[in-house]
Structure 1
Amino acid sequence: MSDIRDPSSPGSAPPPGAAGKGGKGGAPNQTLALAAMLFAVSMTFIDQTIVSIAAPSITDELGLSASGMQWVVNAYLLSLAAFFALGGRLADIYGHRRIMLVGTLVFVISSVLCGCVPSGDFAQSWLIIFRGTQGVGAALMFPAALAVVIAVFPVERRGRALALFFGVSGLLTAIGPLLGGWLTGWTWRAIFWVNVPVAIVALVLTALAHIPNNPRRERLDVPGAVLVAVGMGLSVLGLQQASAWGWSSVATWACIAGGLLVLVVFWRYELGVEEPLVKLQVFKDRAFTADTLVLFFAMLAFVPVFFFASVYAQVSLSCSPNQAALFLLYFFAGFGIASQWGGRILDKRGARPAMKLGTALGAIGFALWAGELTDLSIHDQWPYAAMAGAGIGFLLAPASTDAVNRSIGASYGEVTGITQTVRNYSACVGMAVFGTILTHVTTDRVVQTLTAKGVPDAAAQDAARSISESVTGNPDGQQPSGEGPVATSIRESMQAIQLDFAEANQWVFYGMAIALAVAFGCALLHPGTRVTQE
């Protein structure tokens, strides 16, 4: 049986109620502390999905390319993945409360700047830059917030608190599409400004909770932080740009291979450092490794599905942003219900049964959902969308909680940094790979449709590339202007092109089903041991 150490053990943070250095004295208010951390992390989860709903409106107003819009989404996820390990380590060194506050301020200031993006040539760069700094703020905030929850709750109540933390924070992802659809009806800029009141509530509750800071005076591994950020950045850049550069491009493979090589260097460097950024010895725990692998393959689908399902609904189903948000609600209904059952399974039987059930159900759900996409009917799809969401709901909290419970020496910020780095890096890979698949398949299908209508091959190729790269919620917005025969043929083919886009999305959703099937195999590697207390 594996165990985790009590926080009062040597080398750990002071026990709950102790006024650590930087604290305000007296026992922290556990309820207020948990509420404050949930308000803080809600912003990070909402922002993983809220931009997906607003993507067509942002693209139309600012004139972004599809690649640019994907980078607006990916910049946030990439900076999360690149800096989560650093954020977890900083939280352990400088104090969880302090880093949580710094992360919240960085996040909300970046949000305001995202909403103030000017029109013009610099718009795309502006939005990508500040989405990236948003991700940095989230990477500082999340591991620190989780560590706060662990520190203020005693051992006998910590499991329930962690289940609530992961369950509620996961459910908050559902608010993104709904809130995004409603706010976009006013202005898409509001999807960023809405973080301001949420951040204010989080900061006020943090002050009222009297949370101790409890820093550890240890060295920060700066070379390790640089290596992991560079490695992830290069590899995701290659994957993201493969659709534009081509898979035969030297630049594509130079970025992918170079990034992976840097990550290997990071791994070897960390093994030889006295105070590493990440204690890689935790991977010797077979259960932790299985948890991490399940999270990696599941997250290939979990975050990308918001973007691709939203765009599919708006392009192929002709949905408005609000209707697209409701379309995604079926997925979250399944997720919300199953997440509660997943937490109960974890408490009674451990993480392995919940992960097996979740990955199997998710794989089947995504496969059945993919098969219905070409029917162009929400009515036929909602049961399978709910099933796919339920699969993710069953596995997310158990895998995350089980991994955190297996931390070394109660370095909860650090171990959270590992698991969240894996989760967000996986989301970046999923966005990049599935985006490439969608672009290529859409282009091929549209070329076939247009040439069958008598459009010359060269003109069909140009039109297909333009259509596949446009991300707009109004299919009419994709129709070319002009009165020439080519433009007329394309306009007359828009209904067929909507079906082409749906067929391209089938490839993406079948890919998500395969990712969950691989996650099922990883769940079988878990030894089934449960974490106990000494």
Structure 2
Amino acid sequence: MWVVASADESRPSAAPTSRNLALAGMLFAVSMTFIDQTIVSIAAPSIIGELGLSSSGMQWVVNSYLLSLAAFFALGGRLADILGHRRMALVGTVVFVVSSALCGAVPSGGAAQTWLVVFRAVQGLGAALMFPAALAVVVEVFPVDRRGRALALFFGVSGALTALGPILGGWLTSWTWRAIFWVNVPVAVIAVVLTLMARIRNTPRPEPVDWPGAFLTAVGMGLSVLGLQQASSWGWGSALTWLCIAGGLAVLALLVVVELRSRDPLITMQIFADRAFSVDNAVLFFAMMAFVPVFFFASVYAQVALDYSPDEAGIYLLLFFAGFGPASQVGGRMLDRRGARTPMLVGTALGAVGFALWAGKITDLSLNAQWPYIVLSGAGIGFLLTPASTDAVNRAIGRSYGEVTGITQTVRNYSASVSLAVLGTVLLHTTADRVQQTLEQHGLPAAQARTTAERIAQGITGHGGGSGTPGGVDSTLLGQIRADFAEANQRVFYGMAAALAVAFVCALRHPGTRVTEATEPAEAQEATAATAATEPAGPVEPPPAAAP
């Protein structure tokens, strides 16, 4: 099947593109997707209480969004190249915000769970269509020598919004939990207005869509991520868990064979022959094992071990971004001047040391003992994220920025799913073991201690619909259980440090070559030429704030 766009859209527009407005528009668009990754979890108890959902049903409300993201990122990136980056950014924004508004309008009654699961999945589809296109717009309108700084701002601001989810969610839920979905409407309106004002050129490439490849990608990613997500509920010993994971991986292996033989593949496998591109994605894979899960684990740790409120836990996470934000700007400038290898090595090394030191102090139950290492951990991720992501996109074949962005985002999403599943299991079982020892020390028989410990562990780790707070626990044991949970988290944070150490080893394999204006594909040079003569060559100006 061919997707054809009108030929006149590929011509330069009469008015020049405003780079800063384009960056601001894309930031507003993607801000919704980042906030939505954490904001729904905060409102979960209110949603369950009003709509009468089961704990497993609420888990599907959260997971359906992430499953849809994983399944459709690659297709979204390819469609962005075929139909044009601006067009797909707008389409994805509209799909996302309409489904978000419908989530907020869910009726009470028996259909509530199905309604929420379906439209959360459509939200994920909208995000998968929007994000690769939005990132491709930024890449396309900024020349190579300014791209690192622009994307540092893009990733810095949008990444920080993830930490705002718990704070914003707590504030909105105090009014009504439906507002966590409705807040996306004004943000989307601003994104669309800024995008239209920026006069971004739409540059379609009429090519066939590889629907077999899209189907295999969706099935393979969907099945394997589903198995990872449900491992905590089904159990790692469940045949269904491994059927999903192994079946998904088998489908993805088949995808590679099909794509290598396809004339117009969804994913151009030949790009992995570029060692720098492969290293960039390997660094992202292992780094995201720390970056994405840290929001969940640190938030629950703060609420349970430190006895913080959700709002205070959000502020705890902001310490991470006190290091992440400035380091992302420095990393972007290092990329522009020296290439990706140096900032990736610096970032992975700082991150590994920071997470290891953070883990060492996490049992102190004192923010004063932890905050320098939280900031250091954030700085490490900040240094590496923009260079790894931007260098990978810069190496796109032709100007298939959307396709390559889809690949890198799929890698990041899959890595996060693996890490959350594995580290979540470690946290659950270690917490149960520690609590069991505590209960036995206080005279409880071993069998009863184990049953009680497992119930408590499921509750405070968020498994099985837990609230994240130790309920039904004798006050004399509460302090010791908080300490037990902190000890369990220590293993998790050491695991994150180990993942970043592996990312450092991967970064050593980067050849150190840079993509410059002279080496970038001719088509990509033409795409930025229309704005180069009309935009100042100075530093990227910060766009309007991207948070609602």
1:491 and 1:167 map into 2 onto residues whose CA distance is: 42
Q: Does 1:522 align with 2:506?
A: yes
Tell me if structure 1 keeps the 8 A contact 2:163–2:295: no
Asked whether the 8 Å contact 2:103–2:120 carries over to 1, the reply is yes
Structure 2 residue corresponding to 1:210, chosen from 161, 185, 199: 199
In structure 2, the partner of 1:479 is 472
Letter in 1 for 2:188: A
Report how far residue 452 of structure 1 moved.
2.8
Residue 150 of structure 2: aligned partner:
161
Matched residue type, 1:378: L
Q: Partner residue of 2:127?
A: 138
> Are residues 50 and 138 of structure 1, via their aligned partners in 2, closer, same or farther at CA, if it must alter by over 3 Å?
same
Work out which of the residue numbers 24, 27, 30 in structure 1 matches 2:16.
27
Query: What corresponds to 1:323 in structure 2?
Result: 312
CA deviation after TM superposition for structure 1 residue 120, in Å: 6.6
CA contact (8 A) 1:355 1:395 kept: yes
Instruction: Using the TM superposition, give the Cα deviation of residue 201 of structure 1 relative to its aligned residue in structure 2, in angstroms.
Output: 0.2
Amino acid at match of 1:501: F
Q: How many residues align?
A: 509
Q: Which residue does the alignment assign to 1:268?
A: 257
Q: Which among 414, 420, 424 is matched to residue 435 of structure 1?
A: 424
Stretch deviating more after TM superposition (60-69 or 225-234): 60-69
Deviation at 1:38, TM superposition (A): 1.3
Partner in structure 1 of residue 268 of structure 2: 279
Q: Contact between 2:26 and 2:135, CA under 8 Å: does it hold in 1?
A: yes
1:243-254 aligned at under 5 Å gives the runs 243-254=232-243
Q: How does 1:15-414 map to 2 (within 5 A)?
A: 20=9, 25-54=14-43, 71-117=60-106, 126-154=115-143, 157-414=146-403
Shift of 1:73: 4.1
SS at match of 1:493: helix
Pair 320,207 (structure 1): closer, same or farther in 2 beyond 3 Å:
same
Matched residue type, 1:393: G
Residue 451 of structure 1 corresponds to which residue in structure 2?
440
* Corresponding residue number in structure 1 for 2:523: none
Q: Deviations over 1:215-269 (max 9, x none)?
A: 2211111111111111112212222222333322222222211111111111111
Moved more, 108-117 or 400-409: 108-117
Pick from 483, 487, 494: which aligns with 1:510? 494
Matches of 1:119 and 1:376 in 2, distance apart? 41
For residues 445 and 123 of structure 1, the distance between their equivalents in structure 2, rounded to whole angstroms, comes to: 38
CA distance in 1 between partners of 2:169 and 2:260 (Å):
43
Counterpart amino acid of residue 514 in structure 1 = A
Matches of 2:167 and 2:12, distance apart in 1: 38
| Amino acid of the structure 1 residue aligned with 2:88 | I
Aligned mates of 1:401, 1:33 — CA distance in 2? 17
Question: In the TM superposition, what is the alpha-carbon distance from 1:106 to its structure 2 partner?
Answer: 1.4
When structure 1 is superposed on structure 2, of 54-63 and 395-404 the one drifting more is 54-63
Per the normalisation by structure 1, the TM-score is 0.88
- The offset of 1:22, in angstroms, is 9.6
| C-alpha distance after superposition, 1:23-74 (max 9, x if no partner) | 9743333332221111111112222233354456556666777766655444
Other structure's SS at 1:281 match:
helix
> Which range moves more in the overlay, 238-247 or 353-362?
238-247
Q: Is residue 501 from structure 1 mapped to residue 485 from structure 2 by the alignment?
A: yes
TM-score, normalization by structure 2: 0.86
Deviation, 1:379, is 1.9
Residues 415 and 306 from structure 1, CA distance in 2 versus in 1: closer, same or farther, beyond 3 angstroms?
same
Q: 1:352 and 1:64, CA in 2 relative to 1: closer, same or farther beyond 3 A?
A: farther
Partner deviation per Cα, 1:133-167 (whole Å, 9 max, x = no partner): 22211110011112222333455654543343333
Match in the other structure for 1:4: none
CA distance in 1, matches of 2:415, 2:468: 30
Aligned partners of 2:164 and 2:314 also within 8 Å: no
Offset, 1:182: 3.2
Would the alpha carbon gap of residues 510 and 53 (structure 1) be closer, same or farther in structure 2, given more than 3 Å must change?
farther
Quick one: percent identity of the two aligned structures?
Answer: 69
Could you tell me which runs of 5 or more consecutive residues in structure 1 were left unpaired when the two chains were aligned. 1-12, 481-489
